[in-house]
């Protein structure tokens, strides 16, 4: 087997080419050996070795996914047990299980390091050097997306329960800024990578904008788009969103550096969506404020309706100017004089509306007496 001597020229180290399982040394075979057969055997042996390493990688990855899922389930049970004041024995058992899983994480990292070392030490060959030059992200196909069809009522119930159980964690995720912190947090809490988290963050942003806490709204909006991009990546790849956490953060952290045009475009797309989302939040918050104001106005109007169901403000504004001046001055004599001077039908129409709205209480002294009697009876 030929070897290239390590050479450093103009700062470039060619030592990576020292061990390559491909050369014309393979032509030097014994005349009694079938050379093509020997080459085919060597090639097959290389393929089997590569397949074995790939299988080992997939096994370790599956172990990691299973452990993370189990860890999330135990953490959820532990939170529920603590909230329901479960017996100490049950809490101890759950904590012990969680501790065992955390110990297994160290073993997993050791296996991962061993596989990385094997890959690094594997000599280059014709099967590893000759490959498609286009890069791509590979997601473990063992975690397909779970498709569920829920009714609006079921979705609402699930959202309410999810928020109740995880609100503290959701708020904590919303306050992160560094991608490294967000990634680590989601890897530790994979059950948060879901539509319910995105829904909670969107609603939180709208509430913050309504409360005019705009700096905090801008901050949480960033985390909302992070979650939405992960979910969108999962939809595009038809994968479980949990398996898309690492690929997304790898891409976004690379895009943040903007080293190549493709990454600059990805970062620009992220920022464009972030700004569009903030604008939608502002519009939704404004619509909510306007709706709340209308509701308050309706309640105030309902509260001031007179005995005949008319609004005194609306009735007053519809009165002739002469009658408006009578009510403003509270001059009963002037009111009687003005009514007498008006056409009978018109006067009756306006006085009836004034009574139905509570602007005018006929026989007020009698009404006051009845109210006093009712108060005495209540005492």
Interatomic CA distance for residues 345 and 326, integer angstroms: 19
CB 326, CB 335: distance < 8 Å:
yes
Interatomic CA distance for residues 188 and 61, integer angstroms: 15
The 8-class DSSP code of residue 360 comes to -
CB 152, CB 196: distance < 8 Å:
no
pLDDT at 46: 63
pLDDT at 334: 86
Give Cβ neighbours of residue 136 (< 8 Å, ≥ 6 apart).
Answer: none
CA atoms within 13 A on the CB side of 237: 24
CB 233, CB 247: distance < 8 Å:
yes
Interatomic CA distance for residues 272 and 259, integer angstroms: 19
Interatomic CA distance for residues 79 and 75, integer angstroms: 6
CB 189, CB 169: distance < 8 Å:
yes
Interatomic CA distance for residues 304 and 54, integer angstroms: 77
pLDDT at 301: 77
Residue (of 149, 162, 135, 198) closest to 79 by Cα position: 162
Interatomic CA distance for residues 44 and 90, integer angstroms: 54
pLDDT tens digits for range 134-183: 444 444 444 555 667 788 888 999 999 999 999 999 999 999 989 999 99
Give Cβ neighbours of residue 286 (< 8 Å, ≥ 6 apart).
Answer: none
Interatomic CA distance for residues 91 and 85, integer angstroms: 9
The two three-digit tokens of residue 135, written as one number: 């890069």
Average pLDDT of the chain to the nearest whole number: 76
Give Cβ neighbours of residue 43 (< 8 Å, ≥ 6 apart).
Answer: 126, 127
pLDDT at 374: 32
Q: Cβ–Cβ contacts within 10 Å for residue 300, how many?
A: 11
The predicted model scores a pTM of: 0.49
Collapsing DSSP to helix, strand or coil, 13 comes out as strand
Interatomic CA distance for residues 186 and 246, integer angstroms: 9
Ranges of beta strands (E only) in 115-178 are 124-125
pLDDT at 146: 62
CB 220, CB 239: distance < 8 Å:
no
pLDDT at 45: 64
- pLDDT tens track, the chain, 379 positions: 444 343 443 444 444 444 444 444 444 444 544 455 555 555 566 667 777 777 777 777 777 777 777 777 777 777 777 777 666 667 777 778 877 877 777 777 777 777 777 766 665 454 454 444 444 444 444 455 566 778 888 899 999 999 999 999 999 999 998 999 999 999 999 999 999 999 999 999 999 999 999 999 999 999 999 999 999 999 988 899 999 999 999 989 888 776 667 777 888 899 999 999 999 999 999 998 998 888 888 887 778 787 878 888 888 888 888 888 888 888 888 888 888 888 888 888 988 888 888 888 776 554 444 433 332 332 2
Write the secondary structure of 294-332 as one string of H (helix), E (strand) and C (coil).
HHHHHHHHHHHCCCCCCCHHHHHHHCCHHHHHHHHHCCH
């Amino acid at each position: 087997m030929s070897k290239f001597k390590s050479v450093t020229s103009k700062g470039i180290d060619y030592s990576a080419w020292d061990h390559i399982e491909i050369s014309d040394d393979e032509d030097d075979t014994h005349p009694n050996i079938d050379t093509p057969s020997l080459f085919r055997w060597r090639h097959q042996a290389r393929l089997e070795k590569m397949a074995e390493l790939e299988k080992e990688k997939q096994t370790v990855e599956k172990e990691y996914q299973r452990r993370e899922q189990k860890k999330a389930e135990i953490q959820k049970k532990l939170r529920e047990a603590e909230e329901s004041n479960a017996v100490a024995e049950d809490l101890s058992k759950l904590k012990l299980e969680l501790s065992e899983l955390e110990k297994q994480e160290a073993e997993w990292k050791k296996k991962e390091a061993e596989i990385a070392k094997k890959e690094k030490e594997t000599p280059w060959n014709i099967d590893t050097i000759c490959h498609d030059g286009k890069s791509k992200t590979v997601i473990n196909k063992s975690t397909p997306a779970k498709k569920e069809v829920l009714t609006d009522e079921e979705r609402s119930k699930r959202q309410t329960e999810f928020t109740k159980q995880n609100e503290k964690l959701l708020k904590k995720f919303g306050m992160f800024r560094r991608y490294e912190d967000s990634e680590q947090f989601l890897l530790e809490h994979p059950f948060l990578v879901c539509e319910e988290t995105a829904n909670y963050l969107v609603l939180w942003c709208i509430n913050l904008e309504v409360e005019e806490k705009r700096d905090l709204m801008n901050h949480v909006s960033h985390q909302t788009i992070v979650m939405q991009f992960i979910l969108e990546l999962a939809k595009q790849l038809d994968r479980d969103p949990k398996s898309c956490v690492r690929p997304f953060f790898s891409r976004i952290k690379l895009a943040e550096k903007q080293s190549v045009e493709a990454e600059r475009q990805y970062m620009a797309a992220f920022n464009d969506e972030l700004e569009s989302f903030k604008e939608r939040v502002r519009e939704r918050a404004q619509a909510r404020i306007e709706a709340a104001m209308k509701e308050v106005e309706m309640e105030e109007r309902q509260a001031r309706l007179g005995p005949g169901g008319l609004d005194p403000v609306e009735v007053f504004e519809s009165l002739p100017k002469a009658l408006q001046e009578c009510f403003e001055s509270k001059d009963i004599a002037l009111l009687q004089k003005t009514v007498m001077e008006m056409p009978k039908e018109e006067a009756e129409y306006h006085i009836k509306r004034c009574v139905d709205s509570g602007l005018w209480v006929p026989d007020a002294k009698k009404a006051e007496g009845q109210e006093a009697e009712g108060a005495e009876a209540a005492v």
